Structure 1
């Protein structure tokens, strides 16, 4: 699992990731050191927050496709959820555009 590389590529601390997926910081350390498997639901929360497709992550692509600016020190849980919702929305629009383009061909 390349969770550490994903985290570092996107400029996040273990504390940031813990807040995003709703676990304690120590749990992130366990995931990164292979002491625990990261549940798919937690991985998807993080990827949705970052705007990264699961398939892209599996293929070694760790950079955000969607950039949303926020102050991570002051962001509330509700704001985190809004960032996740916005990223999902934009990713879904992108998928719809791809489908529409493929239908035209």
Structure 2
């Protein structure tokens, strides 16, 4: 994986106001793994990238952007909330998936 992937995960996590603990609980991994991913010390499994893609409301390719700034321009929405529950994160993930699909359909319809 490109070295930028970890930076994108960290940037998105911080933009949404999530802690590493919150993200690790949502993904079902140890907090240390989030740190490893963000520091590019471990490859992020595709399944986790897909979960993060839905949670953050971005396309999968964003994790492989050339720069962090480029990745951040792809963020459709960002909800910041303190003490967010795993249930709330699951709901936001579902919403993110809906938004992504709407954008895809809209692009197809308008030939973009």
* TM-score, normalised via structure 1 length: 0.77
Across the aligned residues of Structure 1 and Structure 2, the Cα RMSD in angstroms comes to 2.3
Give 1:77 shift.
1.6
SS of 1:5 mapped into structure 2? helix
Give ranges in structure 1 of 5+ residues lacking alignment.
none
Matching residue of 1:15: 21
Cα distance change on mapping 1:99 and 1:86 into 2, 3 Å = same
Q: 1:16 and 1:6, CA in 2 relative to 1: closer, same or farther beyond 3 A? A: farther
Alignment-derived partner of residue 43 in structure 1: 49
Measure the CA separation in 2 of the matches of 1:3 and 1:19. Answer: 20
1:31 aligns with 2:37: yes
Structure 1 pair 49–72 and aligned structure 2 pair: CA distance change class (3 A): farther
Counterpart of 2:110 (choices 98, 101, 105) is: 101
Aligned length: 102
Shift of 1:21: 1.7
- In structure 2, runs of 5+ residues without a counterpart are none
Question: RCO greater where, 1 or 2, for CA within 8 Å and sep 6 or more?
Answer: 2
Equivalent residue of 1:57, what SS? helix
Displacement of 1:70 in angstroms is 4.5
Length-normalised TM-score, structure 2: 0.73
Q: CA contact under 8 A between 1:5 and 1:62: conserved in structure 2? A: no
